[in-house]
Amino acid sequence: MIIDLPSTTTSQINSRLVRLRDEGGATTLGRVLTLVIVTEDGQRTDAAIDAANDASREHPCRVIVVARGARQAAPRLDAQIRVGGDAGASEVVVLRLYGELAKEGASCVMPLLLPDTPVVAWWPFDAPVSPSKDPIGQLAQRRITDAAAEKNPIKALETRRAHYAPGDTDLAWTRLTLWRAMLASSLDLPPYEKVVEAEVTGEADSPSTDLLAAWLTDRLKVTAKRLKATRGEGIVQVRLGRASGEVDLHRPDGKVGTLTQPGQPSRRVALQRRSVRDCLAEELRRLDPDEVYAAALKSLAKVSKGRGAAPKAAAEAVTAAAAAGEPEAAAAAETPEQNGKAGAAKKPKAKAGS
């Protein structure tokens, strides 16, 4: 059910929520948090609401959407309340702010917060320079941003590092969960040797690639190299060098990776690029500061930058894929020099996951 409240006030919105509760049952019971989404009013607003609705099935919550409209318009608050099938397992309050009121998002949000529950703020697209100092960010225990959704993802990630505060996190980091788990499990197998070098290859504008290299730098106490992939989406390859040989995790197609390590047969592993709704649901599972993310951010400056993937690594990936009887993977692993001019053709970039 969707209820429109044009030219309204926060007190009228609260009154209507109470009426809905009386008519349809105590809809606020069982809500574990308040999720505040901050975005510009437009077509992308519904995409953020859909992601929050899916996440609410795991974390029942009240979703408050602050959609800032035209600044030149007269000050006005248009609201929309969504409950039932249009709100997943949550109740959604959309606040469209116009004119000078667009700068007062925090004042409009405060009367609608659920009492005695944590507050999480999420900027699905453009985020403030310092989320912890933003008026809405100051209301929240956790502040979620997405560097990959901004115009300059790498610059946005550097801004996150410079202005980090406990409670901040970024979906570029959440997209690394599967990669981190796979690499950590590969080092749990013998031989238990020290990693002496690390290389991470990915798209030039992939913030997750930079964060993964920084995480390896921090945890392995080596200077990881960050290389630019000539083809592939998001993170393409990770190589960890040890005395007995290399641990190589290669994902040329953005879906399935191949893990190769000394003394073990090559294994195909699921490394599907993660959607925003999956990453958001994961971030809502914890409300305490993420110390590992903070340490990875600090190590960004220690990462060594390179121009492209090493020819030796690319050749080994092609050989391994061909030996495993995977011609499509072998073709995807070839560099543009190996694959002719066709390999240099650029593909449309998809930044949904890493």
pLDDT at 350 over 80: no
Q: How confident is the model at residue 338 (pLDDT cuts 50, 70, 90)?
A: very low
pLDDT of residue 354: 74
Same domain? 124 vs 43: yes
pLDDT digits over 181-226, tens only? 999 999 998 888 999 999 999 999 999 999 999 999 999 999 999 9
CB 283 within 8 A of CB 142: yes
Give the end of a domain, one of 89, 124, 145: 145
Strand partners, 143: 121, 168
Q: Are 317 and 333 in contact (CB under 8 A)?
A: yes
Q: What is the pLDDT of residues 290-316, one digit of tens each?
A: 999 999 999 999 999 986 544 444 444
Looking at the fold, whether 141 and 23 belong to one and the same domain comes out as: yes
Are both 17 and 96 inside the same structural domain?
Answer: yes
Q: Please check whether residue 138 lies inside any domain of the structure.
A: yes
Please say whether the beta carbons of 200 and 208 come within 8 A: no
Same domain, 206 and 136: no
In a domain, 183, yes or no: yes
199 and 317 in a single domain? The answer is yes
Domain assignment present for residue 328? The answer is yes
What is the pLDDT averaged over residues 145-159?
97
pLDDT per position as a tens digit, 86-118: 777 778 999 999 999 999 999 999 999 999 999
Look at the chain and report how many structural domains it folds into.
Answer: 2
Tell me how far apart the alpha carbons of residues 179 and 147 are, in angstroms, rounded to a whole number: 18
Residues 219 and 326 reside in one and the same domain: yes
Percent of the chain, pLDDT > 70?
A: 84
Predicted confidence at residue 349, as pLDDT, reads: 45
**Is 349 a domain residue?**
no
Residues 199 and 340 in one domain: yes
pLDDT band at 339 (very low <50, low <70, confident <90, very high): very low
| Region 335-347 average pLDDT | 42
DSSP 326: -
**Among candidate residues 145, 168, 186, the one where a domain is terminated:** 145
User: Which helix (H) or strand (E) segment is 67 a member of?
Assistant: strand 61-68
* Both tokens assigned to 169: 């996190």
In a domain, 60, yes or no: yes
**169 found inside a domain:** no
Of 105, 126, 145, the domain-final residue: 145
* Pairing mode, strands 168-170 and 256-260: unpaired
272/253 Cα distance (integer angstroms)? 9
Which residues, including other chains, have CB under 8 Å from residue 184's CB and lie 6 or more apart?
none
State the Cα–Cα distance between residues 303 and 235, nearest whole angstrom: 16
Quick one: 122 and 219 in the same domain?
Answer: no
pLDDT tens-digit series, residues 153-162: 999 999 999 9
Mean pLDDT of the chain: 87
Are 141 and 221 members of one domain?
no
Do residues 61 and 34 lie in contact, with contact meaning Cβ atoms separated by under 8 Å? Answer: yes
**185 and 42 inside one domain:** no
Of 238, 252, 228, residue with least CA distance to 181: 238
- Report the C-alpha dihedral over residues 260, 325, 179, 217, rounded to 10 degrees: 40
Domain check: are 208 and 277 in the same one?
A: yes
Range of the domain at 137: 2-145
What integer pLDDT is reported at residue 85 of this predicted model? 76
**Which string of DSSP letters, residue by residue, matches 181-249?**
HHHHHHTTSSS-----EEEEEE-TT-HHHHHHHHHHHHHH-S--EEEE-SSSSSEEEEEEEETTEEEEE
Per residue in 4-34, pLDDT (tens digit) is 999 999 999 999 988 988 876 655 457 889 9
- Are the C-beta atoms of 245 and 327 separated by less than 8 Å? no
> CATH code at 249?
3.30.360
Q: Which residue has the higher pLDDT, 339 or 131?
A: 131
Do 215 and 281 belong together in one domain? yes
Per-residue confidence (pLDDT) for residue 342, from 0 to 100: 40
Q: Does residue 160 form part of some domain? A: no
Please report whether residue 352 resides in a domain: no
Strand order in the sheet with 245-250: 267-270, 256-260, 245-250, 235-242, 197-202, 225-228, 304-305
pLDDT, position 326: 52
